[in-house]
Structure 1
Amino acid sequence: MNHTPLEDQVHDALARRAKPLQHPPLALGDVRRRARRIQVRRRVAAGVAVAAALAVAVPVGLALDGPARRTEQPPVDRTPGVVGTVRVDPRSASVGSGPGAPLVDVAAQTVTLGDEVVELPKAYELATPFGDGWFAALRQDDGAWTVNWLTPDLEVEDFTDGTSEPVLAPDGSRYAVASFDRVGTWAVMSYDTARQEPERPWASVEQASPGSTVGIVGFVSEDQVLGYQLDAQTGTSSYFVAEGEEVTPYDGIEEAASASPATGMVAGRTTLADGRSCAATFDGASRSAEPLWTDCDRELSQFSPDGSLVAAFGAGDPNAAGDESGVSLLDATTGRSLVDFEVTPVRNRVVGIADQVVWEDDEHLLATYTDGDQQFVVRLGVDGSVERVAGPVTVELGTVGLRLTPGRLSPGRS
């Protein structure tokens, strides 16, 4: 895709903000996503007045802002009714139990899972149980990642440099990563985090051109990894599904953000006939590029472990740190919003929810909430419940100090 002037403006603004904080450079995909979110919110703001004017003339029951669906599909049986809008304030929220997914405090170099707090040997950004040890990763200055496999005593058992960002299945049972041999081939690797199965064969992806990179989107089944290659020469991405040593092209998808191994669904984007770029879901199990439903007012994020729900952003204006003003939990089958969580605005402080969210279970989402230089982790339920799980911790403005990773404690793990 070509840069638009808006994307260039966003890239420049983000670069200026990131430079004094010594952040790694933003990838092209990050710039595009943030540019699209600004475009979406400008459309939403412009449409509010129109919707208000039309409200008296629209018959009751006619939706103005719902997702467009090509086929009507009934929601899953376990999906509760629509809750509506819920205001989130971690300072006044009830305090819940510890996080059911790993929570890394980058500055303190710790990872918390339930009641267990482990001191990490480095400032990892990602850590999750791996057998009776830990799988951990941190981003390098050039944007590549270093992956470490840690023993129960937190010694480095093995490591790999120059990889893509590791991606875990929503339930934390598997992770996938792409590693470059520095010659011309990327290897896509998939492992079970319990370390109870033999190592699987790696899939090889040849570079499309020098400098091209391979990344992981997620899992479309327990055995199939959805990945992409960003061609350094053309600036375009192509998608594929890796299963063992086999690599199958997944043609027609413009952009994929996440996938569900439980249902095979893929969340991404598509271009409609009128030229709008909109969020969409696809049937990844059949490699279909035909959207199941679209939503032009949101940006889709992660699926719940059972695949019945998907998190989405885009309901409000972005704040100065790039965080979101809210997060919605959608029925993944229909795109219907079940509950919309909004932050509590505070005068003279930046408040927002980081777009790096993790599902704790099939009905609860964990999210990092920023209020000025204070950060919390909140538990958001599909029933509209809000609990404070961690925080506050003091962070440098514009950074995320509390980072979440999919994962669970293995049975019998001490």
Structure 2
Amino acid sequence: MTTSSRTLLVACAIALSAGLSTAAPALSAPGPDDRSAPRTVLDVRDLPQGDPPAVAWSERRGGRTVIHGTTGTRTPVAGAVDELAPMGSGYVVQTRYGRRTQWVGADGSPGRRVWRSGHGLAVSARGRAVAFAGRAGKVWSVDRQGDRVLSFTPVPTSGTARAVALVGEDCKESATSNGCTVHVNGPRRAWYTSSHGIVDRVPRLRLVSTGRGRWLGGITSLSDTGSCSALLRSSAVRWRTCDNQLSDLSPDNRRVLGTPAYADGFGPGSLDVLATADGSVEHSFTSARDGSSATYFDEVWEDPEHVLVVTYQADRWAVVRLGVDGSMEFAVAPRRGTMDLRAPFGLQTR
């Protein structure tokens, strides 16, 4: 989940909290507050250079954007890319300015249509379908045939909606497919819409922050001092926490990333790796006490044991690989830049 996605989620939650009590409600099944887990300070100034990312990533240089594929391919894309997801023989790309979503081929050739959309892409667990949303609760999906786009029954929300999670690998119902379901955030609450035409509120969550298969996580409440979240499996609450917001789920569904419970400042400096089974903290990447450590702007699972983050520290941007064992190395070498500009790197949405 990108930092801009997280900022938008918190902004929605702040609007939501205006109609709620300023005190977060008591939780009936709080997750374990295990802060004794191993910790690694997120200091990325002198790391070894590792392999390139095993997911697609974008690079902005000299006003041009290139998407780097996992096999070494380079796809030129017009505009500054905010979100991307491999799809078919190309990518679904969402631009940063003007918020436009479209499919592009591996050679950079654009698809037939461009959509004005809300921020964010929702990607299925195996990456065979991706969804996005727009004004008046409209929702679309693109499948692995590239630029085949399907429309869903809109969700009843005002403003611009944002797709967060997609369940199912083929959104077109057929003899071999049951279709799919897309979870969408409106300004004040989360909804889902399915290829069956069913639309309803997401149970037990106010806003969705992550999803993969049967797992779904999101915000349940927000107060002046933070937020509370829950992780669901098949709509049943597995555990709750007021220590983290829940971000990307690992490819094997064994772990979920936990960002700070309240987003503030230039960017988060700490990241927790949580067990989906019970919410316990397996490892924490923390800030240095003197504030000299890195902040990060993306967090995406590369494989079940490694997370990729875009970092900023000491006037340099980089893509760093974090191991669940606390290891750290560069996946993309540092590049000089300033905090006044957006990150020159972006990681695919999963």
Tell me which residue corresponds to 2:76: 120
* Structure 2 residue corresponding to 1:282, chosen from 232, 244, 254: 232
Tell me which residue corresponds to 2:129: 174
* Structure 1 residue corresponding to 2:184, chosen from 197, 215, 227: 227
Tell me which residue corresponds to 1:337: 281
Q: What is the Cα deviation at residue 118 of structure 1?
A: 1.3
Tell me which residue corresponds to 2:21: none
User: Any idea what the Cα deviations from partners look like across 1:62-104, whole Å, max 9, x if unmatched?
Assistant: xxxxx984699xxxxxxxxx96112333332222111011111
Tell me which residue corresponds to 2:52: 98
* Structure 2 residue corresponding to 1:394, chosen from 311, 316, 336: 336
Partners of 1:71 and 1:338 lie apart in 2 by 13
User: Any idea what the Cα deviations from partners look like across 1:323-378, whole Å, max 9, x if unmatched?
Assistant: 1112111101200111111255777x673122x21111122111111103311111
1 or 2, which has the higher helix percentage?
1
Which one-letter code corresponds to 1:245 in the other structure?
Answer: G
Aligned ranges 1:8-407 → 2 under 5 Å: 29-31=9-11, 69=29, 84-107=38-61, 108-114=64-70, 116-122=72-78, 123-141=80-98, 145-164=99-118, 165-169=120-124, 171-180=126-135, 186-192=137-143, 194-195=144-145, 199=148, 201-205=150-154, 207-209=156-158, 212-222=159-169, 223-230=180-187, 236-261=188-213, 264-271=214-221, 277-283=227-233, 285-286=234-235, 288=236, 291-314=237-260, 320-321=265-266, 323-343=267-287, 351-354=294-297, 356-398=298-340, 399-406=342-349
TM normalised by structure 2 equals 0.77
Identity %: 21
Distance 1:345 1:106, change over 3 A: farther
Partners of 2:86 and 2:129 lie apart in 1 by 11
Q: What is the Cα deviation at residue 188 of structure 1?
A: 1.9
Which one has the largest radius of gyration?
Answer: 1
Partners of 1:372 and 1:31 lie apart in 2 by 28
Q: What is the Cα deviation at residue 27 of structure 1?
A: 7.0
Provide structure 2 residue ranges, at least 5 long, that are not aligned to the other structure.
17-26, 170-179
Contact 1:178 1:187 in 2 (8 A): yes
Partners of 2:48 and 2:286 lie apart in 1 by 17
Partners of 1:270 and 1:158 lie apart in 2 by 39
Contact 1:136 1:148 in 2 (8 A): yes
Helix, strand or coil at the partner of 1:29: helix
Partners of 1:95 and 1:86 lie apart in 2 by 18
Which one-letter code corresponds to 1:402 in the other structure?
Answer: F
Partners of 2:95 and 2:164 lie apart in 1 by 18
Helix, strand or coil at the partner of 1:31: helix
Contact 2:57 2:345 in 1 (8 A): yes
Distance 1:260 1:133, change over 3 A: closer
Partners of 2:191 and 2:48 lie apart in 1 by 43
Helix, strand or coil at the partner of 1:106: strand
Helix, strand or coil at the partner of 2:220: strand
Partners of 2:343 and 2:327 lie apart in 1 by 24
Partners of 1:279 and 1:319 lie apart in 2 by 17
TM normalised by structure 1 equals 0.66
Contact 2:65 2:76 in 1 (8 A): yes
Provide structure 1 residue ranges, at least 5 long, that are not aligned to the other structure.
1-23, 37-66, 73-81, 231-235, 408-414
Distance 1:296 1:128, change over 3 A: closer
Partners of 2:59 and 2:108 lie apart in 1 by 16
Cα RMSD of the aligned pairs, angstroms, is: 3.6
Helix, strand or coil at the partner of 1:240: strand
